[in-house]
Every structure is written in C-alpha cells, then in structure tokens.
Amino acid sequence: MKYSVIIPCYNVERWLGRCIDSVASAMPEGGELIAIDDGSADGIGALLCGLRDSLAGTFAASGRRFSVLSIPHAGVSAARNAGLGAAEGEIVFFVDPDDEVEPDFFSKMIAAMERDGADCCICAFKTRRDGDAAAPREDALKADYSFAGNGDIVEKFLPRIFGYSFGDIRRWYGGECLFSGREMASACRMAYRRRVIERHSIRFDESVELYEDMLFNARFLLHAERMSCVREALYRVTERASGAMASVPRDGTRYCRNKLRLLAARGELDAESGGRLAHVYAGTCVLSALELLSFAVRLRVPPRDGAAFLRECLSMPAVRRALRGFPLSPRRPFVAAAVLILRAASAFVSR
C-alpha cells in the first residue's frame, strides 16, 4: 500500500460528507482511507458506512481501500492512534473531518517526498471560518523547508513549531509579532514516512487536548533525516466555534491542565533530544507561567486550583531556569513586574 489517509471523526456529521468527497476525489491509486468513528453521538457511524459502500466500486477499480473503525470516545489523539495501528501505507496523511484538500494534495506531497527521498513533507494551507462566504486566507510557508540532514531539521524548522526562545522574546520587545516566525504545527498539512513512525514508536499524546499535533511533529522531526516542502496551499482548514481550539480555552481548568502537560511533554522531548531543545522553548516556559498567573489572578479558575497550577509550574526545573534567564525590558513593564514576582515565588516553591 503506497499511502494511508487517516480521518478521526467525532460529532462532525454536518461537515464529513464534504471532507470525504474532497479526499476521495484527490486520492491517487494504491492508497487507503481509514475513517475512525470516535464514539460519536450523532449519525457518523451510519454516514461513514454509507460513504464507504457508495465509493466501494470506484475505490476497488483503482486499487484503493476505504475502512471504517469504531472506538469508544477517547479524543482525537486516540482516534488517530487507532488509525496508525491499522495503517499499511508507506506514507501517512492525517485529515480533519471538517477540512478539505485540493485535488492534487496527495499526489504533489508524495511526489516531493519521492523526489527528495524525504521522511516528511509540509505544504502551505488556506483557512476559512465555517459559514463565511469570503475567500479563504492563504498561509504561505515562511521559508524553504528542504533539508538533507537531521541537524538542519532540528535547528532550522523544529523551532518554528516547538516554542519561543529568548531571541523571540527580544524581537517581540522590538515590536515584532511573536507568531511572525511560527508555522502552524498541524499534522494535517504534513505527510510522514510510516517506517519512521513505527521504528520510533511515535504516537499522539492522549493526555493532551490542545497542541497534540506539535508534540507528534516534534517527536517525528527528532528522528527525520530528510524533509521536503510544497509551496502551494494544498490543504483547506475550516475554523469552527465548536472545535477544540475554541472550546478548551473557555474552560480555565482544562486549559491550565493542558498547559502544564505541554510544559512537561516539552521537557520529555528535550531529554529525548539530548538537551538540544531547552533553549528553543525557554521563552515559552515563562510565557506559560505568566498565563497561569493571569488565570489565577483573574479568577478564571478556582483560587485553590490556581495556586496549585502555579506551584506545579514553578516546581519544574525548566521553568525555574527560564525565569532566571528571562530578558526583561522597560518596553513591557507589566511583563517585567510579573516575571519578578514569579522569580520570587519560584524561589519560595523550590525551598
């Protein structure tokens, strides 16, 4: 099997037909589509089986397969991991069920990987709000991400998705937008060589609700030797109010717990990398601590929880180191004052 397309589905009956239509139309010969019903409460299970049956003839004629898996509801990471467990393709794609792909998405990504002997490939993408009739916004690649060695991948691309360094903070003080050099870390605009995934037992972290894609990509990139890119916007993202990126931040407790788990996971990846990543996310450590402080002060979480979240954050060695070295600037006096407060609190917590 040349490639596998994995689509996790949870309560997306309204959007799924459009997504499957775009994916099925774009799939070259010799691939498989794996759709996972993640314990949906709507009619996803029946819809998926109906779509599979209606496409059976055209798929069989072109050497393609359409499989439907059903699992108890456990979240997008568990659903994607179930898809990975069933995948047989040499190259793996992930598509979200409310998104769409351009007709040449799969063929151009596969061609770029074959041309360069790459372990992964990234493309530009377009974004539109659900229900918005305006033309989608195109997000171009920030650079040429064609690399022929792991060192270049870790040094030149991974920092764009993994976190903010002190250098990023200083540029922010100078008036540059913090996100200006970032790339959206979505797994859906990437293609992956499955042998790398399996050789290093790479899976999505099921304890993380937001930015699980970033962790998956970072772990994969630590082991990738060659990377390709396609400058065209081949993937179409749909932003919707009911998605996790919008809903989780509205729950302060869930958001803070996710923030702490992300900090811990970054530390685990830094250890896995042999300490190559600590400087890449030092600024993120402090920004995360500041965000937790803000949630506690503004009572977006219960007071006892807010204190506990801050204590857990400030007990992390990476956060304590970052607070000591974090650059301060008179251009951001409130940030400087808050960092000084966190430094003092960190010293107290570490006693």
Residue 69 token pair: 């898996």
Query: Which CATH number goes with the domain that contains 107?
Result: 3.90.550.10
Query: Cα(340)–Cα(336) distance, rounded to whole angstroms?
Result: 6
pLDDT at 243 over 80: no
Q: Does residue 314 sit within a domain? A: yes
Instruction: For residues 100 and 220, state if they share a domain.
Output: yes
E strand or H helix at 271 = helix 252-272
pLDDT at 131 over 80: no
Query: Cα(73)–Cα(303) distance, rounded to whole angstroms?
Result: 31
Instruction: For residues 230 and 264, state if they share a domain.
Output: no
Average confidence (pLDDT) over 123-139: 87
Q: What is the pLDDT of residues 300-331, one digit of tens each?
A: 999 999 999 999 999 999 999 999 999 999 99
Q: List the domain range (segments joined by +) for residue 288.
A: 251-349
Q: Does residue 124 sit within a domain? A: yes
Estimate to the nearest angstrom the gap between the alpha carbon of 22 and the chain centroid.
22
pLDDT at 277 over 80: yes
E strand or H helix at 24 = helix 13-26
Instruction: For residues 215 and 303, state if they share a domain.
Output: no
Half-sphere exposure for 128 (CA within 13 Å, toward CB) = 14
Instruction: For residues 204 and 81, state if they share a domain.
Output: yes
Q: Average per-residue pLDDT in the chain? A: 94
Q: pLDDT higher for 347 or 245?
A: 347
Instruction: For residues 63 and 203, state if they share a domain.
Output: yes
Q: What is the pLDDT of residue 142?
A: 95
- Tell me the percentage of the chain whose pLDDT exceeds 90: 90
Q: Does residue 130 sit within a domain? A: yes
Q: What is the pLDDT of residue 132?
A: 75
Average confidence (pLDDT) over 279-297: 97
Q: Does residue 178 sit within a domain? A: no
Phi/psi of residue 117, each to 5°? 60, 40
Q: Which residues contact 170 (CB under 8 A, 6 or more apart)?
A: 327, 329
Q: What is the pLDDT of residue 255?
A: 94
Q: What is the pLDDT of residues 34-63, one digit of tens each?
A: 999 999 999 899 999 999 999 999 999 999
pLDDT at 1 over 80: no
- Tell me the percentage of the chain whose pLDDT exceeds 70: 97
Residue 170 amino acid letter: R
pLDDT at 133 over 80: no
Average confidence (pLDDT) over 91-104: 97
Q: Does residue 157 sit within a domain? A: no
In the numeric block, the tokens 């794996």 are attached to 34
Q: What is the pLDDT of residues 24-35, one digit of tens each?
A: 999 999 999 999
Instruction: For residues 54 and 126, state if they share a domain.
Output: yes
Instruction: For residues 240 and 255, state if they share a domain.
Output: no
Average confidence (pLDDT) over 67-96: 97
pTM of the model: 0.95
Q: Does residue 276 sit within a domain? A: yes
Q: Among candidates 315, 280, 303, 7, which has minimal Cα distance to 160?
A: 280
Q: What is the pLDDT of residue 46?
A: 93
The domain tally of the chain equals 2
Lowest mean pLDDT among 15-19, 86-90, 133-137, 278-282: 133-137
Q: How confident is the model at residue 288 (pLDDT cuts 50, 70, 90)?
A: very high
Query: Cα(205)–Cα(207) distance, rounded to whole angstroms?
Result: 5
Average confidence (pLDDT) over 265-274: 96
Instruction: For residues 270 and 130, state if they share a domain.
Output: no
Residue 8 amino acid letter: P
Q: What is the pLDDT of residues 246-268, one digit of tens each?
A: 666 789 999 999 999 999 999 99
E strand or H helix at 190 = strand 190-193
Q: Which of 246, 274, 290 is the last residue of a domain?
A: 246
Q: Does residue 97 sit within a domain? A: yes
Average confidence (pLDDT) over 163-187: 95
